[in-house]
Amino acid sequence: MKTKLFSFAVLLIFAVLHSSGQNINGNGRASGFNPTINNSGNGAQLTVPAQAFTTDNDDPAKDIMNNDDVIITGSLGVGFDCVDGEAFGFNTVLLKENNLRIKFDDTSLSAGFAANDWTLVANETSSGGANYFAIEDATAAVIPFKLMAGAPADALYVDSTGSVGFNTALPALALHTKKGDTPGLRLEQDASSGWTAQSWDIAGNESNFFVRDVTNGSLLPFRIQPGSPSNSIVIKADGNVGIGTWAPTEKLDVNGSMKLTAILTAPATPAEGSMYMDGNDHLLKYYNGTQWNTVSPDTDEQDLVAATLTGTTLQIDIENGTSVSVDLYPLLADLEARVTALEATIGMKENSKSTAAISQNSPNPFVNSTTIPYFIPSDVQTASLTVYDVKGVIINEYPISNRGTGNLIIDKSELAAGSYFYALILDGAKSESKIMIRVD
């Protein structure tokens, strides 16, 4: 038993000598190396004379091969720069030389068995090369993992739950990144697959959480300020979007007021349904596929086609064949009473010139302009047409210089929408009053 143990010790010493640069010949001896074995007494002893050794690592015949297990109860030093009395410290295995590699050479040949080779690499071998630790796919000659020298503590940390921390040993979630200024994640698409290169950043700081379009000038199309309330923007499973609400009932449901910033020029290429606030007239406009139209809160957005006053009945024709009839008698009776009372108050006399006449304006109601026919006798000294509102306040006075038959045209710009009375004033006396209606 002791002889077997001693033989193993000899092989182990040979292995260490070889790994330390000693040259072992084909008989298992180093050049000039003649060990003496003493197997008498209480134990076997190996005596190695102090001689100079030469090395020849390129001669496979001088390699040491052991066909059984090798167990080392101390530390193992491998490499040209290991020395006698090496200080191992806590290192069980020490690799020490100028080029350090550990290769895993899988010799599997049977179909279906994995056979890829891997290498643990420490630093580049050329002058001025980088300092790093890497795992190399030796078969493909690529390095999928590289750790550069100088990386900070906890640069990559995987805790016992599987959570991964970047620059933190306390990952709070499955992926946790920590940095003193704007931690973030870059998504970079290069052109290697034939698509246009594009880079995006997802990051956050004390000012905002944002998505940054790096490729196009670092634009910030999406931003959230710290302290934004819950449900500021909600997208539900049915596609409805809520602003300030978790339960939107329409494609866009806003819980609160809305604002459209006014622009002076309409969008150049609108689509049907486009809307904007006109900065010129401060009205909301929508595009119906052909033209821009004004959204009015006071109408159903149908155009007035025509209006006809028959007696005291006003018929208004609206686009799409719709018409509305309004009986104006109660209004006219009230207005007439008001005018009569006003005339009595100011002492206005009826015109005694029986031949003077004024006709109903046409069209009435009117949108753009209306015409009032009249006849003024030649003996009248002063003549004018006066327009009153329903309270009897004079709105406009139109002096008339010609005599005989004539027409007075009133433009929409001269009157706001509403109901009015008008009458001829001849030499201070009023003729018969007529009612006139202006609509938008």
The Cα 313–Cα 331 span in angstroms is 11
What's the pLDDT tens digit per position in 83-106?
999 999 999 999 999 999 999 999
Sequence length of the chain is 440
Domain ranges of the chain: 2-97, 228-256, 259-301, 329-438
Q: Nearest CA to 437 among 301, 350, 312, 351?
A: 312
CATH of domain 329-438: 2.60.40.1930
Q: Nearest CA to 383 among 422, 330, 333, 429?
A: 429
User: Is residue 387 within 8 Å of residue 396, measured between CB atoms?
Assistant: yes
Residues paired with residue 202 on neighbouring β-strands, in sequence order: 185, 211
Q: What share of the chain is helix, strand, coil (3-state, %, to 5)?
A: 10, 35, 55
Q: Pairing state of beta strands 164-166 and 175-177?
A: parallel
User: Is residue 351 within 8 Å of residue 426, measured between CB atoms?
Assistant: yes
Instruction: For the chain of 440 residues, list the mean pLDDT of each consecutive stretch of 10.
Output: 46 48 41 47 45 54 84 93 93 94 96 96 94 97 96 96 96 96 97 97 97 97 96 96 96 92 91 92 91 73 70 73 75 66 52 70 91 90 90 89 91 90 88 84
What's the pLDDT tens digit per position in 165-203?
999 999 999 999 999 999 999 999 999 999 999 999 999
User: Is residue 397 within 8 Å of residue 351, measured between CB atoms?
Assistant: no
What count of other Cβ atoms lies within 10 Å of the Cβ of residue 395? 15
The Cα 428–Cα 359 span in angstroms is 19
Q: What is the pTM of this model?
A: 0.54
User: Is residue 45 within 8 Å of residue 35, measured between CB atoms?
Assistant: no
Q: Nearest CA to 134 among 151, 152, 153?
A: 151
Distances, alpha carbon 134 to alpha carbons 121, 148, 250, 262, in Å: 5, 8, 55, 59
